[in-house]
Amino acid sequence: MGATAVAYAAALLWLAPYHIIRAVTTGSSSGCLSNAFASECATDLQLEDASTKTFAESPEENVGADLEAGIPARLHELFLLDRAAHFDLVVIGGGSGGIACARRAASYGASVAIVEKATIGGTCVNLGCMPKKVMWLAANLGDALDAMPHYGFSFPGSSLDAQVDALASEVPRNASRGGVAFSWEKLRESRDAYVSRLRNTFEKLLQEANIKVFRGTGKLEADVELPKTSQARRARERDQRHTVLIEDHRGGVTRVTAAHVLIATGTRRQILNVPGAEFAISSDGFFRIEHLPRRVAVVGSGYVSAELAGILRRLGVEVYVFMRGHRQLKSFDKETVERLEKIQIESGIRIYKGVNVVEISLAKADGTNILPAYTFERQNEGRESLGEACLTVHLDNGDAHYGFDQVIMAVSPAPSVEGIGLEEARVKVDVNTGGFIVVDKFQNTSVPGVYAVGDVTGKAMLAPAAVAAGRLLADRLFGGNRDAHHDLPFVPTVLFSQPALAAVGLTEEEAKARYGEENINVYKSTFVDSFYAAWSIPASEKPRSFVKMVCLKTAGDKVLGLHLLGRGAEEILQGFALAIKLGATKEDFNSCLAIHPTAAEEVVTLPDEKKTRTVAPKDSRL
C-alpha cells in the first residue's frame, strides 16, 4: 500500500466518529437543531474568539502534517468543510440591525453567530445615536440656562435684573453664564461611561440568547468545488450552506458554515481626498475630541453636519459649515429646512453654500504659515492641541478661513463592504450609489440565502429601520411569517438639530411630484412654545415652532406627511407617526381632543384653510 493510500485511510478513519455524530445530530436536512444533544455538540464547535487554537478554529494547522504526508488538496477541502462549525444563521456585523435579527432568530430556536471586527453595538451605540443624544441633551441645557432668570432663578454673583438684561444683549445665547462652569471633559467621561454600560448590556443579551460572537472580519467564501459523490458536497446542496471565513486581529482564520448569512456591516465615515486631509477628523473622531475646541469647521450638508454644528454652537464653539451644494438636508421638507437654517444663522453658525474644500493647511492663528518642520500628531482620530498652530480651510473660490481647532468631515458615508467577499460570492451592489448592497423588500440579495439589512443597503439609514428590518427577516426565515417585510414609506425620523426637526412620510415636494400639485393640501402653523411664554423679551425674538401637514385631497385628505420643527418635536412625532401609518385623515386629527397647553396640540388644531397660521401673543412683552 502506498503512502498516499495510507494517508487517505488514516484521515477517513479519524473523521469517522465526527461523521457519526453529525449524522445523529443533524437529522433533518435544514432548519434549527432539534434536540439538546445536537445543541450541545454544536456548542462545542462554536468558538467565541477566532484566535482560539482548536480544530474548529484553524483546520489548516491540524491537517498540516497529513498534507505533508501526501493527502491531496481535494481531501483537505473535504476535511475543512466538514470540521467547520455550522449555524442556522451567521450575521456579519454586530450593530443594531445585526443584533436585532440575531436575537429574534435565536428566540425561535435557531443557532446563531455574530461576526464583529470592532465593538458590539455598531455605530448607533458607540459613535452615533446614543453618544450623540448625550451631547445634544447637554447642548439643550443652554435653553435651561437662558430660561432660569425668567423663572426666578439667579446665578451666583449676579443680580436677576442684570442677567435678564444680559440675555437681551448682543451676547450669544449659547455663551457661558456667570458662575456656571462647563466641563467638556466631564461630559465626555459621563457619555463614555454610559456607552460602555450600553455595550455591556448588549453583550450580556447576546450571551443570554446563546449567540456566539466571533471577534474578527467575516468574509463570504465562494463555493469549494468538490466531487458530486462527496458527502460534504451533498450536504452543502441539501442544507444550502454558505461558508464564512473569519479572520481575527492576529491573523488566525476560522471557517463556519450557515444556512443563512446576513450582512449588516453598516457604513464607514469618509474624509475628502484633498491635500491636508490628514489634519481633519471624521464624525467618528468628534466623539474622541478631548478638549472643547474654540472654533470648528464642519464640512457637509447632511444630518450629521447639522447635528454636530448645532451641538457645538450651543456649547459656545464658533462654527463654520461648508457645503458643496446650495441646499442642506435634501431628504427633509424644503420649507421646514429653510426655517431651521434661519435659526442656525441667527444662533451664530456661519453657513457657506456652493463651495468645495480643496485644501486644509496648518497655520498660525492669524492664518500665516508655520515652519515646514512642524510635526503634526494625531491621537485616536482626535487632534492634539497645536498651541498657536491652527487649521486653515481653503475653498475653490479662492477664499481661505483660518483659526480652526478642528475640521470635521461630515460628508456622505460609504458602505462598509471592503474585504467581505461580495464579488467572489456574486452579491450584487449598486455601483451608481457607491457600492451599497442591492436588496428587495424582503432583504434578499442576488444570492439565495444571503441577506442584507441596515445602512449597508443605502435605504432608510436609521438604526430603528435596521432593527425593524432585522427582526422581520428573522420572522420570515425562522418564525413562519413568509410575508414579513419592512414598510419603508412610513419611517419616522428626527434630526437632533437645535431645535429638533421631526418628520414622517412624504415631504411637500415628494407628494406633489407623486400625486400632482392640484391633488395636495398643505396645512401649516407657527407658534411660540409655552416654555418661552414667560420670557421677558419681545415676542418677535422668541423662538417659533413650526408644524406642516401634507394631505392627499383625492383620498379624503389622507395624511401623507407630517413635519415638526421646535422644542419637543423629537418626542411629539412618535404617536402621530402611528396614526399616519394607519391611514389617518386630516378630519381624524381634527376630531382628536387636544391636550392643553402643549406643543402637540398644534398638530390636532391645524386650521382647515391651506395657509400658514401664526399663533403669537398680542402683547409684545409676553
Residues involved in catalysis: 596
With DSSP H G I counted as helix, E B as strand and the rest as coil, what are the percentages for the chain, rounded to 5? 40, 20, 40
Residue 154 annotated as part of some ligand binding site? no
Residue 306 labeled ligand binder: yes
In angstroms, what CA-CA distances link 154 with 138, 150, 306? 20, 9, 32
Exposure string for 94-104, b = 16+ CB within 10 A, e = fewer:
bbbbbbbbbbb
Q: Please check if 399 is assigned to a binding site.
A: no
The Cα–Cα gap between 125 and 26 comes to: 37
CA angle 516, 522, 526 (to 5 degrees): 155
Residues 6+ apart with CB under 8 A from 140: 314, 498
What burial letters (b/e) apply to 236-255, b meaning 16+ CB within 10 Å?
beebebbbbbbbbeeebbbb
304 appears as a binding residue in the annotation: yes
Query: Is 523 known to sit in a ligand binding site?
Result: no
305 marked as part of a ligand binding site: yes
230 appears as a binding residue in the annotation? no
Q: Partners of 404 in the beta sheet? A: 391
Task: List Cα–Cα distances, 68 to 4, 26, 72, 253, 295, in angstroms.
Answer: 10, 32, 9, 20, 64
Backbone torsion region of residue 137, taken as left when φ is above 0, otherwise alpha when ψ lies between -120 and 50, otherwise beta: alpha
34 is in an annotated binding site: no
526: which residues sit within 8 A by CB, 6+ positions away? 544, 545, 546, 547, 612, 613, 614, 615
218 known member of a binding site: yes
How far is the C-alpha of 411 from the C-alpha of 305, rounded, in Å? 8
Phi-psi region of 106 (alpha: psi -120 to 50; beta: other; left: phi over 0): alpha
Detail the residues annotated as belonging to a binding site for NAD(+): 300-307
Binding residues: 133, 218, 300-307, 455
